[in-house]
Amino acid sequence: MFEGFTLETVELPDATLRVRHGGSGPPVLLLHGHPRTHATWWRVAPLLASSHTVVCPDLRGFGRSSKPQDTPDHAGSSKRAKAADCVALMRRLGFERFAIVGHDRGSYVAFRAAMDHPGSITRLAVLDGVPIVEALERCDARFARLWWHWFFFGQPDKPERAILADPDAWYGGSPEAMGAEAYEDFRAAIHDPATVHAMMEDYRAGLGIDRAHDEADRRAGRTVACPTLVLWSLRDDLETLYGDVLSVWRPWAPHLRGRGLDCGHHMAEELPGDLARELLAFLG
């Protein structure tokens, strides 16, 4: 897994991240979603590394990266805090400007990085996501039926107890689909109470402080300054929920392109070749 990549632990001002990086050329940062770790990219990262320097961290709170301190506003788990980690990490590795790709919960961190640090982000790719405020404002019975977990995970204590009673049954996954090493890395994460709690805190932040940050940007008229690619899984829920996914993004990203891919939600694991080709064409 990740042949030729370096695995290390990087201490930053506000977090310590487990990071895998390799390749050469223009830098691109890949951010995983829930409940994965950076290992979800193991089939995609080598395909990008022939022409790019590829950096894959465990996000703050996930995998083997450090866990933020709990506070009433969940600020340590906010996408703003995690976006700041990303900029600090890339600077530590020698990159002042870089492209960023985020899947699922990682897409919210990537979006926040582009909004908060426009001078650092050269290109933004969002995989299976829309801005958090858009998702919550458009919430209806379909959203509640399909994405009920957003609101369950936002409750105190109970989701951790439910998940940790049987993490394998809750999250599924298999070594056949994910790859044996990636699956074991994923299982270690979902069986760790501290990681499960931090993953729930990510959702709690989403329902409060992250939404407030999106709302403040919209009131101020701020948009993504860099070229933006949005890809979504045709066998997942975004088209069911929103129809034209790009129409949700146009007010936020003036330089926008994108399309659906014929796969399920975990596109880096299910369709790595097609995903890598889309990303390479976008990254240039």
> Catalytic residue numbers?
104, 265
Please tell me the distance from the alpha carbon of residue 245 to that of residue 256, in angstroms, as a whole number. 11
E strand spans, 44-175: 53-57, 98-103, 121-127
Task: Determine contact, residues 227/124, Cβ cutoff 8 Å.
Answer: yes
Q: Is 260 exposed, middle or buried (0-12, 13-18, 19+ CB in 10 A)?
A: middle
Q: Which helix or strand (DSSP H or E) is residue 23 part of?
A: strand 16-23
Q: In what order do the strands lie in the sheet with 53-57?
A: 6-11, 16-23, 53-57, 27-31, 98-103, 121-127, 228-233, 256-261
User: Which residue type sits at 266?
Assistant: H
DSSP letter string, 150-192: HHHHTSSSHHHHHHHH-HHHHH---HHHH-HHHHHHHHHHHT-
Sign of the alpha-carbon torsion through 125, 126, 132, 137: positive
